[in-house]
Each structure stands twice: as structure tokens, then as C-alpha cells.
Structure 1
């Protein structure tokens, strides 16, 4: 027996998952369908949350409003993923946590339009403080994949 073949089991697993969105995530996803990034808002603390939250982490009160986030923002952290999942985006992919204008927290999503063949060069474009813009999918379905980011500015 070949030692290498005994160390790996290859299998095919198909998994369907139904995710109950609830009121907050449901409102966020409906906004995506309309080409809007909606953040929850707490009138007591004045904080806006993206991804939206039901309760404010500062006041411990329910978030009681919604606001439309800006369609540009600043990268807070980023990475390049080189191992993916079958049937999903082909790797490598860039992912960044972005604080959109007018929002007090950051949301993660893909960053498209970068040449990822040289990770060192790509990571310079994804450095904290770099600016990105939201790009909406042509056909939106109320999913997080309805938008992604693209780098903007002179040296992106």
C-alpha cells in the first residue's frame, strides 16, 4: 500500500443550509437587494453598526433605527486567502474588514479587481487606511455576496 494514499480520504459532501435571518439581518439583506448598505443605529449612544446589530454594545439598549452607510470606506484589516471551498470563489481571494463612511464598525467582504499573483504587492493595496468603494452585483438576491469592494485612489 502506498503510504501517501492512506493519509488522504477524498469524499463528496453536499450540504444544504437554511439560515433564518431574523428582523435585523433580514432588513440588511432587503437593503442589499435595493442597492443599499443599511447599518443599525442606537439613538442612546449615537453608534451605527455594520453588520447591523440588534443591541448596542455601549448602551446595552436595542438599536432603534437604520441609516444608509456610505458607499466608500477605509480598510481596517485585510488578508489574501489561498485555500478555498469547492464550488465557491476560486482562490486566491482578497478579503477586507472595511469601515464604511458614516459607520462606527467594520464589515468583511471580498475585494475584487486586484492582481493577486504577487501577494506582497496586493497586500500593499490592501493596507489599513486604504480606501475602497462598494460595488453591487448586477443581479442582487439579498445575500452578502450582493456586494464586494474595490480599491480606489491613486496607488491602489
Structure 2
């Protein structure tokens, strides 16, 4: 069989489902909804505070322990500007950021808002310089990751 003989089959995975969040994720989302705070769980072995909260440490493979609140500002570790339409997401362009919140030892992904994305190159340059972001909570939280988003915070001291 040659490469020319291989089939490419079109498909579409557009289906409704329900996700069982489990005990840890349920509390994480309830904290967003009910208290407008972001909580993580600390690994008793390596002492990292994991955000979003998870039941097991991804480095030590042990059950996580204490719940702790993290700050509402953080460091933008990476970002993407999305210009293609994806079902279930807002209309493009949109930006997402991978952020380590103050006090956390892992990063969390969410939307970056308040950045002019009409010129993707200029927006990317601005995001490269603005490494600090702040959390903004939704007016009516619903216990979902979209209960908050990030906005650019104070300018970074190392990237004026």
C-alpha cells in the first residue's frame, strides 16, 4: 500500500455531553461562583500549589491536600491570538493567556480581554511587553471557567 492508497475520512464531532467534574473540580468551580476566588490545592510532597485545583500532583503522583486561595494578579507566561472561528468560542479575533497567578506554582488558561486585536502583530507585541495581568470576575458567575478572564495589569518592570 502506498501513501496515495490511504484514505482521509471527513468527520464532525459536534455533540452534547455532560461532564462529571468530581469533588476537586466541583469545589474549584463553586469557589469561583459563590466566593469569586480562585483556589488551588497544595501537594504535600513537593509543596506546589496547583491551579486549577486538582486531586493529584502531576509531578509527584500523590493526592493533593490543603486548599489555598491565590492572588488575583499574575504573570502572563504565554498567549495566543486566535483568528479562526471555532464552534463554542466567541467570534474571533480573541486572545487566550496561560497565567501563573501570584502564589500559585502552575499556570491556568483563560481569555485575555481588553486588548485591541485588529492588528494581530501589534497586539502580540503589546502582550509580549505586558507580562502582568489581573483577574476580572463575571457579573453573574455560573461555576464555569468563564466566570473570570484576564486583563492587562501594571506594566512589567523588566519589559517597559
Q: TM-score, normalised by structure 2?
A: 0.83
In structure 2, the partner of 1:80 is 81
- Mapped to 1, the partners of 2:56 and 2:71 lie a distance apart of 22
Deviations 1:127-155 (A, max 9, x none): 27700000000000000110000001248
CA contact (8 A) 1:75 1:128 kept: no
- Mapped to 1, the partners of 2:102 and 2:149 lie a distance apart of 15
Q: Answer with 110-119 or 51-60: which moved more.
A: 51-60
The two structures, once aligned, show a CA RMSD in angstroms of 2.3
Deviations 1:41-70 (A, max 9, x none): 113321111122211233322101111111
- Mapped to 2, the partners of 1:102 and 1:154 lie a distance apart of 19
Aligned pairs for 1:17-96 (under 5 A) are 17-33=17-33, 34-86=35-87, 88-96=89-97
Number of residue pairs aligned between Structure 1 and Structure 2: 146
- Mapped to 2, the partners of 1:118 and 1:84 lie a distance apart of 17
CA contact (8 A) 2:72 2:102 kept: yes
Deviations 1:9-44 (A, max 9, x none): 9x9x86322110001111110011020111111133
Q: Answer with 87-96 or 111-120: which moved more.
A: 87-96
User: For structure 1, which runs of at least 5 residues remain unmatched after alignment?
Assistant: 1-8
Change (3 A) 1:111 1:56: same
In structure 2, the partner of 1:3 is none
In the alignment, is residue 118 of structure 1 matched against residue 119 of structure 2?
A: yes
Change (3 A) 1:129 1:114: closer
